[in-house]
Amino acid sequence: MQQPYRFNDSRAAYEQIEEEVLIIDLETGTYYSLRETAAALWLNAVAGAPGDLLAHALIAHYGESNRDLITHDLAAFLDGLLEAGLLVPIEDAPVVAVTWAVPLPATYRAPVVERYDDMQALLLIDPIHDVDMTGWPALPAAKPAAGEPAAGVPGQAMQRAGR
Amino acid sequence: MAQALFPALAHLAIDSAHAAAPDLRIVAWDGEESGVQPPASDLTAVEENSQGRVLDPNTRFYGRFNADSGMLSLFDSATGTGVYWTRCARLLPTYVWGAPLLTLFHWWGNCRGMVMVHAGCIGVGTQGLLLAGKGGSGKSTTTLLCLRAGMRYVGDDYCLVGFAPQPVAYSLYSVGKLTREHLRNFPDLERISTDPNPDPFNKPVCFLAAHFPQQMAARLEPRAILLPRVTDQAATTLRPTSRMAALRALAPSSLFQLPDPSATTLASLSRLAQALPAVELHLGALETVVPALRDYLAAG
């Protein structure tokens, strides 16, 4: 967890309103809602804070007694975001200080990413194809199968929200 | 082609003899009707950016091809010129009859700082309410209830929102769409509904301009974003909620019904969500919906 990260803006977009973050995967239609601990960590991660710095800051906030739990939960949270392609590890980043732009809850709660897959069906209806060097109308080599589910996201921190 | 494209836009028709120079000019034709194929497809420069794939590195030209329905849309943002070709308009899916030229309106509006929003919009006078939510939330049923009760109608599914600097919702389509099951609640609308080419959305379309001409509104100024929820309670109630809840309701379906979902569009939707109060609309019995909305608008 020593590598810093950057937001994968070639694939996704996110917005913060007040104390919540909404991330949208522009390729798959999956979207994610982050609140409390998850939102607070996300904002620091996309600013370049590596995992070990985030862990240190959370442990300093909640106390040593939570060290093992925080370390475990944070690793699962970051792994989930990396697996989903929302974060990308980078080699170098400016040294950043962890700040809590979104207030942390008084008692430690694991960061939770609520995942929504209900928009994916829209992408399968009448597929849209970009025009390219071969001109139009050119169909792609393979079309997605109707009803094909979204790839699962590992990590305990990811929860599949109801439709 | 006229039968497929024009009914949804009928409420916006003007007398061309008195019209100023158009801001958007669209050349549209049907390959089967005319025997004329789309323009030559030699492309010398293609670059992809956050706005989606474009045909020109200077992001002047936009192009999209819908494979299954056979529609080509091209747009020149410098001249405000759109090109629309369809393989066979009479075979276009019903959802296209209900929202023709959507891609071109999206690009044109986007270039002018507007955002295409998947939301209904109704109101009284110049004041409106946006209704946001995915299919099954009660959005379309609510907008059509309001229409039938005499309220002003911008649309049930899409509108272009500009910022002047407060949000303004501009009408595109004078249509209503409901599933066959829900249409049974509205026999008058069921009688005027049509389903030219059934599609996966399974919603016949009602062309409303001829039947409710006085209620078609070219624009309304939204006062709030309502998030409908179907409930089993007797009365319809409204409860404040977070602006992020409004963005969650607006953004995914708005983004993914457009050909080029982007961070820019999400930012515009976020701007809209932050500009207006967000309210959960807990739908009770059908006869309680319109009075609740009229009361909310009247409260100021």
DSSP string, A38-60: HHHHHHHHTTT--HHHHHHHHHH
Residue A145 confidence class, pLDDT cut points 50, 70, 90? very low
The reply to whether residue B38 touches residue A127, judged by beta carbons under 8 angstroms, is no
A13–chain B Cβ distance below 8 A for any pair: yes
| Closest in A17, A118, A139 to B244, CB measured | A17
Question: CA-CA distance, B90 to B78, in Å (whole number)?
Answer: 31
- Contact, B235 vs A10, CB < 8 A? no
Least reliable range by pLDDT among A86-100, A103-117, B208-222: A86-100
Q: Which of A113, A118, A122, A163 should we substitute to test contact with B (largest number of B Cβ atoms within 10 Å)?
A: A122
A148–chain B Cβ distance below 8 A for any pair: no
Nearest CA distance, A67 vs chain B (angstrom):
32
Sequence letter at residue B273:
A
- For B247, name the nearest residue in chain A, comparing CA atoms only: A22
The reply to whether residue A135 touches residue B242, judged by beta carbons under 8 angstroms, is no
What pLDDT, on the 0 to 100 scale, is given for residue A139?
A: 40
pLDDT(A120) > 80: no
Give the tokens for residue B8.
């949804």
Between B99 and A120, the higher pLDDT residue? B99
Half-sphere exposure of A149 (CA within 13 A, CB side): 5
Q: Is A3 helix (H, G, I), strand (E, B) or coil?
A: coil
Cα B114 from chain centre: 13
B270–chain A Cβ distance below 8 A for any pair: yes
B contacts of A123 (beta carbons < 8 Å)? 256
pLDDT by position in tens, chain B (length 300):
999 999 999 999 988 777 788 899 999 999 999 998 876 654 333 333 333 344 554 578 888 877 677 888 889 999 999 999 999 999 999 999 999 999 999 999 999 999 999 999 999 999 999 999 987 889 999 999 999 999 999 999 999 999 999 999 999 999 999 999 999 989 999 999 999 999 888 899 999 999 999 999 999 999 999 999 999 999 999 999 999 999 999 999 899 887 788 899 999 999 999 999 999 999 999 999 999 999 999 997
User: A with B: how many residue pairs have Cβ under 8 Å apart?
Assistant: 117
A141–chain B Cβ distance below 8 A for any pair: no
What pLDDT, on the 0 to 100 scale, is given for residue B62?
A: 86
For chain B, counts of helices (H) and of strands (E): 10, 17
DSSP string, B250-293: HHHHHHHTSSS--HHHHHHHHHHHHHS-EEEEEE-SHHHHHHHH
Half-sphere exposure of A98 (CA within 13 A, CB side): 22
What pLDDT, on the 0 to 100 scale, is given for residue B259?
A: 74
Query: What's the whole-model pTM score?
Result: 0.87
B23–chain A Cβ distance below 8 A for any pair: no
Among residues 195-254 of chain B, which lie with CB inside 8 Å of chain A? Answer: 199-201, 242-244, 247-248, 251-253
- Contact, B59 vs B49, CB < 8 A? yes
Nearest CA distance, B151 vs chain A (angstrom):
30
